[in-house]
Amino acid sequence: MGSDTLIDLRGVIKRYQVGDGEFTALKGIDLKVNRGEFVAVIGKSGSGKSTLLNMITGIDRPTEGEVHVGGTAVHTLSEGEMARWRGKEMGIIFQFFQLLPTLTIAENVMLPMEFRGIRSMKQRRERALHLLEMVDVVEQADKMPAALSGGQQQRVAIARALANDPPLIVGDEPTGNLDSRTADAVFALFERLVTEEDKTILMVTHDDDLAQRVHRAIIVHDGAVVDRNHTPAFTDAQQMVGEMALH
């Protein structure tokens, strides 16, 4: 894997047992993402987008092929090794925030640091407040998640994903549950993370307007990557996806 390559998928196939048969969700994916890229993954529902992300995050494993992230052969890791690797090397952001409702905002952000056993309690708190300030919700630090709006909760989820300073942020529809104005603000934060914090971001999105702002789009159709270097205008990519769905 080249020094600039952060994600490298080689011949990744994923099959699932369905009743007495088999369903192939990914059909021999070859894909590279370089450090510092901001990449969107697009495609119709059921095309394999989320399965592709699950291969990269180690949430699921390939039936065949190899997944390398940051020089680590992710597909070879045990469950314990996977959890430790993921906690150090990756931040994951979901559509529905997944904040723990019984913890304060600051405690939610501190949790990944506690899992890794790094920093003292005071240092964890200080880092959590720093990250919450970065995403403009530090004034909510001691409130419970239910007291925050959806946009504020997603900002907290981003701060939590950054807790251990991972090089890679992966998002599965991270703006999909937000209104357009809030989604735009969250997306602007992603852009800052790439340009100012040297992060690499890979995210699934259906938002045409926002995804025109990424470096490139990866188009997934029927379990295959049909275009890995699509650049804006993104609406052209969406049109391509729509046309493929008709065939």
Domains and CATH numbers, the chain: 36-58+78-245 (3.40.50.300)
Percent of the chain with pLDDT over 90: 67
* pLDDT for the residue 139: 97
Condensed to tens digits (0 to 9), the pLDDT of residues 36-65 reads 999 999 988 889 999 999 999 999 999 999
Q: What is the mean pLDDT of the chain?
A: 89
**What residues contact residue 119 under an 8 Å CB cut-off, 6+ apart?**
113, 127
Condensed to tens digits (0 to 9), the pLDDT of residues 1-37 reads 556 999 999 999 999 999 889 999 999 999 999 999 9
Condensed to tens digits (0 to 9), the pLDDT of residues 85-100 reads 998 999 999 878 889 9
For residue 2 the two structure tokens come to: 């080249």
The pTM assigned to this predicted structure is 0.85
Condensed to tens digits (0 to 9), the pLDDT of residues 188-223 reads 889 999 999 899 999 998 877 777 889 999 999 999
| Strand pairing report for 21-34 and 64-69 | unpaired
For residue 134 the two structure tokens come to: 């970065």
CA-to-CA distance for 186 and 210, rounded, in angstroms?
Answer: 10
Condensed to tens digits (0 to 9), the pLDDT of residues 146-160 reads 999 998 999 999 999
H or E segment to which residue 5 belongs: strand 5-18
How would residue 231 be classed by pLDDT, with cut points 50, 70 and 90? Answer: confident
**What residues contact residue 184 under an 8 Å CB cut-off, 6+ apart?**
209, 210
* pLDDT for the residue 160: 94
* pLDDT for the residue 246: 45
pLDDT at 244 over 90: no
Distance of CA 36 to the CA centre of its chain: 14
Q: For the chain, how are helix, strand and coil distributed in percent, rounded to 5?
A: 40, 30, 30
* pLDDT for the residue 236: 54
* pLDDT for the residue 207: 78
Q: Burial letters for 21-35: b for 16+ Cβ neighbours within 10 Å, e otherwise? A: eeeebbeebebbbeb
